[in-house]
Chain A
């Protein structure tokens, strides 16, 4: 069945509302971060996820507490989608003492073990190998968990990506490789840097399923991940999903983006936007009323105001703890 209704039937209304809330939360969080960064006060390099929300949310809707999500440097969206405390996420981006990583990592290193969120990593591509390790441990320990490794189109050109795919396949590891192909690695187009243009086709060479989906379509992502996750849980090994998408902002904040074709972002915002697509589908199919979605928008807006106020007011890490957490003996 390829009607929206057919796709949607796999998820309860509560699940759908939660997916919408997740995407809206990320969107408002990132739009606000864009403004705050421009105003100064956000340290470091900040890579925004706006535009790509359906990808992380579609992945995370399929994950259980036993699973591990490997994040990338474009970290805010996946961290929020995975259910990390959004207040602690914001505080980490602001490098505050009670941020997710106690201010040590910042925007590109959001990591929260208790939420099953690993990474974020600024060594691009390395999450795929680390994910294989999480998957091996889950299998040995019989946790029932799987690992889903996010990686960009750029990260997919690291040697470790190909080595990890091979390893995952020969050992049938319960891992899903989720390639978020947003068309660019910094200012370089995927069309230029990816031989043949398609990353999902590499899966065949490693004897695993490889599919391509519209990364702005929550339902398409959800379905592809559902199938790959079921396969991994059943012990049949890894899969690769290539979700095509676009970011709405620059590679990092401050990127003038002159390399992008004129009107590209406007076109995506207008005709491909994940929130718009989602609303159209569920409203057309009479699953959820417009008013319910609008109410979520309002609630999320208020939440994000509180999250930023809290993060900005929070103190930096205590200087007395400067040398802590280097070795396992420091707690």
Chain B
């Protein structure tokens, strides 16, 4: 056990899984960096230096830098997965799914089903999500609700270093395609992380905080926003139960419903958009299955329905904050 950043935890998880299973390969743009350039090799490890050192450790047969050809290398990764390799394909920003959407949602997601269960696609797509760096509409989205739409994919959204390492191990060991969504504002977050390998099962939500009055379901980075709000609400005597689903497919609806049945109130905090998002999905599940337990309407705290602006002041308005969560909790408590 030692303190590690989200970045280090993911890097360590990759290294350990690659040692554990020689069929694991890493593929993507600048996952090493320096290919053919004449200076240092293994120079980048991606733009956020998450995969740095892997080329030096595992060599070019298992760590492959690609041209900027997402459609081709995603398709290749699926083909390799169908042939028994376990590729971890890096899609630098999840927004670039646009150029390889067909590969992921029409090929990977349906390959096993459509061919009658003959194949396994043990593919992990690592990708960056989230706003906060001021890099505008094409680099800042949270698209896990989009991925979660497609049966056949699994979707993981770790909110901290411990979960990131354990969920990554499960993703890599899983026999289905998994989209592993790393929030770019969490890379520096530090937590105690075991040094040895461990796997956290999918579909098991984490009760980050216990409380009797309101259930707050928060996703990815929003877990920390929800916790900030919950600490402050505790001072007013309002007990918030904060739940991190950790995976959106499979989704641990049981834990959410169990909690709402205790508290009777639900606030969902999601950085993905307000329409057709995870907040909408979770609200629908609870309305369907635990309606009678609710003492107040469910409130979704999400960004507004807009593309993401570059300007830091507007981007700040876009991202849900603790103040909005507190307002929502007051509202479900009838303390407006």
Contact = CB atoms under 8 A, between A and B. Distances in A.
Do the two chains belong together in a single complex?
yes
Interface of A: 43-45, 95-97, 103-106, 108-109, 121-125, 154-155, 157-160, 184-194, 256-262, 264, 316-317, 319, 322-323, 326
Q: Which 5 A-B pairs have the closest CB atoms?
A: A192-B36, A106-B310, A189-B36, A187-B33, A259-B34
A317 B65 contact: no
Interface string B205-221: 00000000000000000
A95 B33 CA distance: 30
9 contacts: A104-B136, A104-B314, A106-B310, A158-B70, A159-B99, A186-B33, A187-B34, A189-B34, A316-B311
Nearest to B304: A323
Contacts of B312: 43, 95, 316
Contacts of B71: 158-159
A193 B310 contact: no
A212 to B, nearest CB: 19
B288 interface: no
B138 A123 contact: yes
A10 B290 CA distance: 78
B190 to A, nearest CB: 21
B contact patch SS: loop
B310 A104 contact: yes
A185 B33 contact: no
Contacts, number: 159
Given A157-B68, A188-B30, A326-B306, A95 B99 contact: no
By secondary structure, the A interface counts as: loop
B99 A123 contact: yes
Interface of B: 29-30, 33-41, 43-44, 47, 65-72, 95-96, 98-99, 133-139, 304-307, 309-314, 317-318
B102 to A, nearest CB: 10
B22 to A, nearest CB: 25
Given A44-B134, A186-B29, A322-B306, 4 more contacts: A43-B311, A105-B310, A159-B71, A187-B30
Contact of A185 (B67, B311, B317): B67
Given A123-B98, A192-B65, A258 B39 contact: yes
A103 to B, nearest CB: 4
A124 to B, nearest CB: 6
A228 to B, nearest CB: 24
A194 B35 CA distance: 12
- The interface centre, meaning the residue of A154, A160, A191, A193 with most chain B CB atoms within 10 A of its CB, is A193
A157 B313 contact: no
Nearest to A258: B40
A123 B312 CA distance: 21
